[in-house]
Chains A and B, each alone.
Chain A
Amino acid sequence: MATRLPHKDVCIVGLGWTGSILAHELTDEGLEVIAIERGPWRDEATDYPPNYVQDELRYRIRHELFLRPDQNTFTFRNKMNQTALPIRSWGAFMPPNGVGGGGVHWNAETWRFLPSDFVLKTHLTERYGANFLPDDMTIQDWGITWDDIEPHYDQFEYLCGTCGTAGNLNGTLHQGGNPFEGPRSRPYPNPAQKQGYGHTLWAKAASELGYKPFPQPSGNMSQAYVNPLGVRMGPCTYCGFCEWFGCGNYSKASPQTTILPTLIRKSNFAARDNCEVKRINLDSSGKRATSVTFVDTSGNEWEQTADLFILAAYSIFNVQMLMHSKIGTPYDPVANTGVIGRNFTHQCMSSVDAFFDNKKFNFNPFVASGAIGMCIDEFNGDNFDHGPLGFVGGGYLGQVQTGGRPIQTTSVPKGTPRWGAEWKKTVAQYYLSNLKGGSIHGSMYSYRDVYLDLDPTYKDRFGRPMLRITIDFHENELKAAAFMTKKYAEIVKAMGAEKVEPKPRKGPYNVTEYQTTHLNGGAIMGTDPKTSAVNRYLQSWDVPNLFVQGASAFPQNAGYNPTGTLCALAFWSAKAIREQYLKNPGPLVHA
């Protein structure tokens, strides 16, 4: 029997980026807020101090900071007629765990999506006609526009101290920035980070080919910064251990370095760590959330009641929670009904590796930050004419090498033996003169047969059906990957590489090959409860006192990293709660 805890105004499930943002905003409103986090409390200097965090084996290869699959994993298959099997160790993506969530170990690549990304279906249909899109593609508009979201991108960038060069300031284009970005109301709060030799050389070659390269927007500090909450960050030291690692130097934007130090001091905020919420409980009408049931590390069950609930777990866990709580109608791909699990997407990443003459090129790849790099946006979203190409979508192209950690960056050209004297010699020859950061950040649009539901066979540690992932690449994404990889290879050739190895993403989707941890969709936002799980404010259509944060709301993925957008959405949702919902608790949109 669960032990009931004292009532709170707000209960937040998950204390990562969106949970921290919502907790900050709602405590400012004077509400009593409790956040319940599945993993441990983590802090910068104690959990990943700079004297031993530079450990590739422990953090990258053995996945120290991530959730353990034996606590919670998924089953996976490519096609609906296959038997899904459990993901026994992580590969294609790395679910986060603990306070700070993915904000602890991300690269801090802090992108905005394009204005057209938010009205994608309308935009593409108007430009190319409805027949241009594949029949089974299920892309949708988000229910918001650029003008809705821009102020909140700005809010998140100033919270994080994002470093970058503005390309479009209130409609005026500025050299050195991304000319394709939507108009921004303010410049970035900090100047762009410095770039290494490989990044710089790539940008020069791109520029000579007529592209407009710009520094990747980075949440690794180019200088000391005090954010609007009064929290201070230090300059990044380019140590090369950022992605997969925590930053003990307080140089990477994370909930720990931007929000938690002030949040924890508020008397109306409390957090519980190592407590896993099992379900959200509803009243007898099924229209109102009354409490959550959670389990501590001893297996004791607790019940936390509240008036307002914020689901702020990692995207796919949001969907899992909704399914186990029986909130919303599960998606059925055959009947094409229901919404929970619908429009699940990931990413379609490609890369180009390059090997240079080591007598002329020394890249010092180990000198890098997580979000260092130079990028171009000519082939993202609908920045180029897709008409003659026969596909939609795209991605940014960038030289974004984040370090020279030797287990993963000791590459050898194709044709080199995998072991032995020749392998050893070639590794030594190319370590300082190969570039592995050739990244093509391809979008993945949504399809009728890519979705989440419950597995008929495998059970989780509580004896409940595991969440089942059905995902494969479609021809549209693979065509886009081939096209962009070719464009990228031209830039690397122009840099003077000896050997260029294009690696366009190929099907089938393989769960062992790391792409990104950008899982999206499954509880998407929209304007129609028949095709979306939450409204434009991320409020559940079915249970109005529940708001579902995060990338689970993305109707499809874009050709960018998602954190900037999902955190902007969190601020947008928080604003609606503060200004509309609290005055009159109930549905903010009437369908």
Chain B
Amino acid sequence: MNIHRRELLATAAWFLAGTIIARANTISGRLPWHPDAGHPPTKVRPGPWKYFTLDEANAVEAIADRIIPPDPETPGGRDAGCGVFVDRQLAGPYGRSAGHYHGAPFQKGTKSQGPQSKTTPAELYRKALAGLDEYCRQKYGGKTFAKLSTADQDAVLHGMDSEHIKFESADAKIFFDQILKDIQQGFFADPIYGGNRDMVAWKMIGFPGARYNYLDWIDRHNQRFPLPPVGIAGSIRWTPQG
């Protein structure tokens, strides 16, 4: 949870002035200047899982590699860091649907009324991943999803997608749509969030990344942009690895 610097200053002013009037902040005379008011992002660091258990992480990384399989040019979802991305997202505001409206009553609506579930993404992953491994153990002689052959993994994922496979613990189709979206977003998001490691996804498609100025390029029609991608935290060539 970030605390706004201005809120800290306002609180300090309240204590100093000792009057409630000081709490209602008035802006006048000049533009307020609060450096870093936009909260520079914090780079995801490698390290232990923040949300997933080891079993959950194994399943998610295996799923990531089926949604985005490795090929000779571009790593798959696992090596691109998509599992790390999802883990860090679930450990943060996204995992608890922060900012979304959570008020009761929860009622089932029409498709056009949008999601009405009480379940947060973090809860959905926990329940559905347990359901997935349980399904696989029963169907594939005690093996978890991560231990299946890639062909069997694909078959399970297709079954979830087409609603032929159901879990006891959670809606397998809703979970599949969620993890598909999350893995693909992690693949294409800025690498500071843990996925798209070394900007592999951007290199694959030809997106030059978080660049600031294309004034020289707006007129150069139908020419391939020559520079490699950069991320918010810079280029991999600028930073020592390790």
A binds B: yes
Residues in chain A within 8 A of chain B (CB atoms): 3, 5, 40-43, 46-58, 61-63, 68-70, 73, 76-78, 82-83, 85-89, 91, 194-197, 200, 235, 237-240, 249, 260-261, 264-265, 267, 269-275, 296-298, 300, 302, 361-364, 366-367, 404, 406-407, 410, 418-421, 424-425, 427-428, 431-432, 457-459, 508-512
CB pairs A–B below 8 angstroms (21 shown) = A41-B6, A48-B38, A52-B232, A54-B190, A55-B41, A56-B190, A57-B190, A63-B99, A68-B100, A76-B113, A200-B221, A237-B213, A269-B28, A296-B23, A302-B24, A407-B189, A419-B67, A419-B184, A432-B224, A508-B112, A511-B113
Given the interface pairs A270-B26, A508-B112, the reply to whether A407 lies near B71 with Cβ below 8 Å is no
Given the interface pairs A46-B36, A70-B101, the reply to whether A420 lies near B66 with Cβ below 8 Å is yes
Given the interface pairs A273-B27, A427-B205, A511-B114, the reply to whether A194 lies near B74 with Cβ below 8 Å is no
Residues from chain B with Cβ under 8 Å of A47 in the complex: 37-38
Interface residues of B in 120-169 (CB under 8 A from A): 154, 157, 161
The answer to whether B101 touches A87, judged by C-beta atoms less than 8 angstroms apart, is yes
Does B239 sit at the interface, judged by CB under 8 A? no
The answer to whether B7 touches A297, judged by C-beta atoms less than 8 angstroms apart, is yes
Q: Which residue of B lies closest to A91 (CB)?
A: B114
The answer to whether B154 touches A404, judged by C-beta atoms less than 8 angstroms apart, is no
Shortest Cβ distance from A440 into chain B, in angstroms?
20
Q: Which residue of A lies closest to B14 (CB)?
A: A298
Give Cα A445–Cα B6 distance, bound, in whole angstroms.
44
Given the interface pairs A264-B31, A512-B114, the reply to whether A273 lies near B25 with Cβ below 8 Å is yes
Q: Mark B163-203, 1 if CB is under 8 A from A, else 0.
A: 00000000000000000100011001110010000000110
The answer to whether A364 touches B217, judged by C-beta atoms less than 8 angstroms apart, is yes
Give Cα A270–Cα B114 distance, bound, in whole angstroms.
40
Give Cα A81–Cα B66 distance, bound, in whole angstroms.
44
A-B interface, 4 closest residue pairs, ranked by CB to CB distance from nearest: A431-B205, A54-B210, A68-B99, A197-B221
Residues from chain B with Cβ under 8 Å of A297 in the complex: 7
The answer to whether B99 touches A410, judged by C-beta atoms less than 8 angstroms apart, is no
Q: Which of A49, A57, A298, A419 contacts B68 (CB 8 A)?
A: A419
Does B1 sit at the interface, judged by CB under 8 A? no
Residues from chain A with Cβ under 8 Å of B94 in the complex: 62
Q: Which residue of B lies closest to A507 (CB)?
A: B112
Q: Which residue of A lies closest to B217 (CB)?
A: A367
Give Cα A511–Cα B219 distance, bound, in whole angstroms.
38
Give Cα A417–Cα B24 distance, bound, in whole angstroms.
55
The answer to whether A406 touches B205, judged by C-beta atoms less than 8 angstroms apart, is yes
Does B15 sit at the interface, judged by CB under 8 A? no
Shortest Cβ distance from B190 into chain A, in angstroms?
6
Residues from chain B with Cβ under 8 Å of A362 in the complex: 222-224
Residues from chain B with Cβ under 8 Å of A512 in the complex: 112, 114-115
Give Cα A249–Cα B34 distance, bound, in whole angstroms.
17
Does B103 sit at the interface, judged by CB under 8 A? yes
Given the interface pairs A46-B36, A431-B205, the reply to whether A196 lies near B215 with Cβ below 8 Å is no
We find that the number of chain B residues with CB closer than 8 angstroms to chain A is: 81
The answer to whether A43 touches B67, judged by C-beta atoms less than 8 angstroms apart, is no
Residues from chain B with Cβ under 8 Å of A458 in the complex: 103
Give Cα A57–Cα B71 distance, bound, in whole angstroms.
25
Give Cα A511–Cα B7 distance, bound, in whole angstroms.
34
Residues from chain B with Cβ under 8 Å of A265 in the complex: 29-30
Residues from chain B with Cβ under 8 Å of A273 in the complex: 25, 27
Does B97 sit at the interface, judged by CB under 8 A? yes
Does B204 sit at the interface, judged by CB under 8 A? yes
Given the interface pairs A69-B101, A194-B219, A458-B103, the reply to whether A366 lies near B30 with Cβ below 8 Å is no
The answer to whether B109 touches A428, judged by C-beta atoms less than 8 angstroms apart, is no
Does B54 sit at the interface, judged by CB under 8 A? no
Shortest Cβ distance from A40 into chain B, in angstroms?
7
Residues from chain A with Cβ under 8 Å of B100 in the complex: 68-70, 88-89
The answer to whether A364 touches B114, judged by C-beta atoms less than 8 angstroms apart, is no
Residues from chain B with Cβ under 8 Å of A195 in the complex: 218
Residues from chain B with Cβ under 8 Å of A3 in the complex: 20-21, 24
Does B238 sit at the interface, judged by CB under 8 A? no
Q: Mark B75-102, 1 if CB is under 8 A from A, else 0.
A: 0000000000000000001100101111
Residues from chain B with Cβ under 8 Å of A420 in the complex: 66-67, 69, 154
The answer to whether B114 touches A89, judged by C-beta atoms less than 8 angstroms apart, is yes
Does B110 sit at the interface, judged by CB under 8 A? yes
Residues from chain A with Cβ under 8 Å of B206 in the complex: 431-432
The answer to whether B99 touches A264, judged by C-beta atoms less than 8 angstroms apart, is no
Does B35 sit at the interface, judged by CB under 8 A? yes
Residues from chain B with Cβ under 8 Å of A76 in the complex: 113-114
Give Cα A419–Cα B76 distance, bound, in whole angstroms.
12
Given the interface pairs A362-B223, A459-B103, the reply to whether A270 lies near B31 with Cβ below 8 Å is no
Does B116 sit at the interface, judged by CB under 8 A? yes
Given the interface pairs A420-B66, A424-B74, the reply to whether A272 lies near B27 with Cβ below 8 Å is yes
Q: Which residue of A lies closest to B225 (CB)?
A: A364
Residues from chain B with Cβ under 8 Å of A54 in the complex: 190, 209-212, 232
The answer to whether A424 touches B68, judged by C-beta atoms less than 8 angstroms apart, is yes
The answer to whether A510 touches B112, judged by C-beta atoms less than 8 angstroms apart, is yes
Residues from chain A with Cβ under 8 Å of B184 in the complex: 407, 410, 419
Does B111 sit at the interface, judged by CB under 8 A? yes
The answer to whether A5 touches B24, judged by C-beta atoms less than 8 angstroms apart, is yes
Give Cα A43–Cα B6 distance, bound, in whole angstroms.
13
